[in-house]
Amino acid sequence: MKFKVDKDTCIGCGACEAICDEVFEITDDGYAVAKDEKITDDEVKEKAISAMEGCPTEAIHEETKEA
Ligand code: SF4
């Protein structure tokens, strides 16, 4: 499982990082990015999904294509 943040939609509110900083971080440009690595830990997955569902602009998407 992997996530992707749509930079055009993200408003940089920081909620995703607050919920799951294992996956999401706010970069120097003020917007969130998702770490480009597959998430294997179930607890982290749950938090990342909560962050995705909690994003106010729905900027977070699950990457369906597993790399
Ligand atoms: S919760 Fe959504 S809008 Fe807020 S920083 Fe994260 S991706 Fe951007």
Choice from 6, 31, 47, 52 to test ligand 1 binding pocket (greatest atom count within 8 A of CB): 31
Per-residue pLDDT of the chain (67 residues; tens, 9 = 90+): 999 999 999 999 999 999 999 999 999 999 999 999 999 999 999 999 999 999 999 999 999 865 5
User: Ligand 1 in contact with 59 (CB < 6 A)?
Assistant: yes
User: Residue ranges of the domains in the chain?
Assistant: 2-61
Residue 9 CA, closest ligand 1 atom number: 3
- The reply to whether the predicted model has a pTM over 0.75 is yes
One of 3.40.50.620, 1.20.1250.20, 3.30.70.20, 2.40.100.10 is the CATH number of 2-61, namely 3.30.70.20
Residues 6+ apart with CB under 8 A from 16: 5, 23, 24, 32, 51, 52, 54, 55, 60
User: 3-state SS of the chain: helix, strand, coil percent to 5?
Assistant: 25, 20, 50
Alpha carbon of 67 to ligand 1 centroid (Å): 23
Q: Locate all alpha helices (DSSP H) within 5-65, ordered by sequence.
A: 15-19, 42-54
